[in-house]
Amino acid sequence: MNFSNILNEIEKNDPEVYEKVSGRRHILKSFGAKVALASLPFAVGSMFKKAYGKTTDVVIDALNFALELEYFEFNFYHVANNTGNLIAVSDAPGFLTIEAHEKAHINFLINTITTLGGTPFQPNHYSDAVSVPPYIPNAYDFTAQSNTTYAPIFGGVFTDYPTFLIAASVFEDTGIRAYMGQMQTFLGNTILTQAQQIAATEGRHASFVRLIRRNMGAVEIPAPWITNNIPPLNSLQSFYLGEDNTTQLGISITSLPDTYSGTGVVPEDSATAAFDEPSDMTTVMSLIAPFILP
Amino acid sequence: MEKVADVSRRRFFQLAGGITGAGLLLAACRKSPPNTKYLGSGDIALLNFLYILNQLEAQFYTQASTPGSQYYGMTHLELLCITDLRDQEIAHSEFLKSILGANAVPIIKVNFSAVTFADRTSVLTNAATIEDLVVSGLNSAANLFVNQTYALAFTKMVSVEARHSAYVRDSLTPNSFGANVINSNGLDQVSTPAAVLAAAEAYIETTFDSSKLPN
């Protein structure tokens, strides 16, 4: 096997191979001679991984999906933070922080999408925006009045604090699952790291909201993490389908020995809580559709 | 330099901190302590890096949840959360160990001398430090894996570790879930595996040869 020949073969099909891989042809020409034969497959694999990742269009689509969710969340918190007598005074600083983070995510994603040559998503009624990033009063109905299933649940979302907290929990958990669902698209791209950084921030938000509900005595005693697939209300089960997965990379987590506490194996509750499961674009969009105005 | 080579790595750096001669420092670095654990290279090194971090967390919460060493005033709901944290970190740790098989580093020897387990503030403050480190490490490790299947599996742990950090932070100081860790783009922290491991070693007695750890 001759490394230069491989590159020549690729060059016949893709004349830009050298530019894609490093832009420095002469280095690659001498590459084969300098890399130990045993490590060649790994060196070549990692080199091409970066050059031939997912196409930019797919990445932009995924980023625009994320941007759509960030607009959704920003508008939700913006309305809540500007509604008197809704959020407990002691929790108000946290929700202002969350709104600021969602705003930062919107700006970051717009910049990233633009840099990649894409067109950033704009919510419906974008022209009615009253702030930047847009607070768009006509884009969302978080009380979901047009939906017979959601309306009885979310009717008091901006008048009743426990209802607001249920909505916030569900939106944050779903947001995290949405990012998890797009990570495959970002593999081999620096955006993977940034998407993880955003997902981590959203994880902190979810924990904050869930701990408030726990301390307020919510009936299912929510932990800051998702235990099994337990929703805040049974009627919101659809947001948590698949969260009770106990198998990772083909390994059954509940079969693993519990080395430290000596209780036998990893308990199922923790095996599920230890991983936030992905949710795909179609599922997430169908879950939030009842809150989006036409 | 013979005496320096005999003491632990932490003690070594404490000593080295006072040494200004760079040549002297470099000469000392060439000798590894005899019990140093080699992480391996490439993906194996990254897996061992994450395994070490999650072992550290598992052992921390095991001690914090053990009757007799729980912090003073721990409520029932708090004990349930600390126990959850222990079991989730055990899940992560055993998952990584299972992937690594014979390549796994041994059970690490921790050094929690900086932690006062009877004191709530000490436990939660140190827990936050460790959790934030793990978030940083998971974020940098993701794109360093050659086998991207690993990256996809461990990305599911990032937001969970962030949930952990937020829990201990908010328990200590309400509304502090993201204080000083989220940048102006709304992004959580990322640090190189080498930097994260170096910081985590403040809690670890075992010494590591991480010379082949991707960065």
B170-202 confidence digits (pLDDT tens) = 999 999 999 999 999 999 999 999 999 999 999
* Nearest residue, CB atoms, A97 vs list B58, B135, B175: B175
- B158 vs A253: CB contact, 8 Å cut-off? no
Place B25 in a pLDDT band, splitting at 50, 70 and 90.
Answer: very low
| Residues A114, A93 share a domain | yes
Residue B214 located in a structural domain: no
Q: Give how far A181 is from chain B: nearest CA, Å.
A: 10
Average pLDDT (B9-36) is 44
Interface size, chain A vs chain B, as Cβ–Cβ contacts under 8 Å: 215
In a mutational test of the B interface, the residue from A103, A173, A225 whose CB has the highest number of chain B CBs within 10 Å is A225
pLDDT digits (tens, 9 = 90+) for A233-247: 999 999 999 999 999
| Residues B148, B117 share a domain | yes
Residue B215 located in a structural domain: no
pLDDT higher than threshold 50 for residue B131: yes
pLDDT higher than threshold 80 for residue A122: yes
> Considering only CA atoms, which of A246, A250, A262, A251 is closest in space to residue B95?
A251
| Residues B109, B69 share a domain | yes
Place B35 in a pLDDT band, splitting at 50, 70 and 90.
Answer: confident
> Considering only CA atoms, which of A234, A233, A211 is closest in space to residue A224?
A211
| Residues B81, B183 share a domain | yes
pLDDT of residue A53: 52
Contacts of A257 in chain B (CB under 8 A): 94
Weakest mean pLDDT among A33-47, B76-90, B131-145, B151-165: A33-47
Range of the domain at A224: 56-242+277-291
Sequential DSSP letters for A10-41: HHHH-TTHHHHHTS-HHHHHTHHHHS-GGGHH
- B159 vs A258: CB contact, 8 Å cut-off? no
Number of domains in chain B: 2
Q: Give how far B6 is from chain A: nearest CA, Å.
A: 30
Residue B152 located in a structural domain: yes
pLDDT higher than threshold 70 for residue A196: yes
B160's CB contacts (< 8 A; 6+ apart) are: A203, A225, A273, A274, A275, A276, B88
| Residues A214, A84 share a domain | yes
| Residues B52, B143 share a domain | yes
Q: Is A257 on the interface with B (CB under 8 A)?
A: yes
Q: Give how far B80 is from chain A: nearest CA, Å.
A: 9
Q: What percent of chain A has pLDDT over 90?
A: 76
Mean pLDDT of chain A: 86
pLDDT higher than threshold 80 for residue A26: no
pLDDT digits (tens, 9 = 90+) for A71-105: 999 999 999 999 999 999 999 999 999 999 999 99
- B163 vs A46: CB contact, 8 Å cut-off? no
User: Do B91 and A271 contact (CB within 8 A), yes or no?
Assistant: yes
Q: What percent of chain A has pLDDT over 70?
A: 80
* Nearest residue, CB atoms, B182 vs list A179, A183, A201: A201
Range of the domain at B22: 1-34
B208: enclosing H helix or E strand? strand B208-209
pLDDT of residue A264: 83
pLDDT higher than threshold 80 for residue A287: yes
- A206 vs B86: CB contact, 8 Å cut-off? no
pLDDT of residue A257: 86
Q: Is A34 on the interface with B (CB under 8 A)?
A: no
Q: Is A247 on the interface with B (CB under 8 A)?
A: no
Q: Give how far A131 is from chain B: nearest CA, Å.
A: 18
- B84 vs A202: CB contact, 8 Å cut-off? no
pLDDT of residue A258: 81
Select the more confidently predicted residue: B16 or A134: A134
Mean pLDDT of chain B: 88
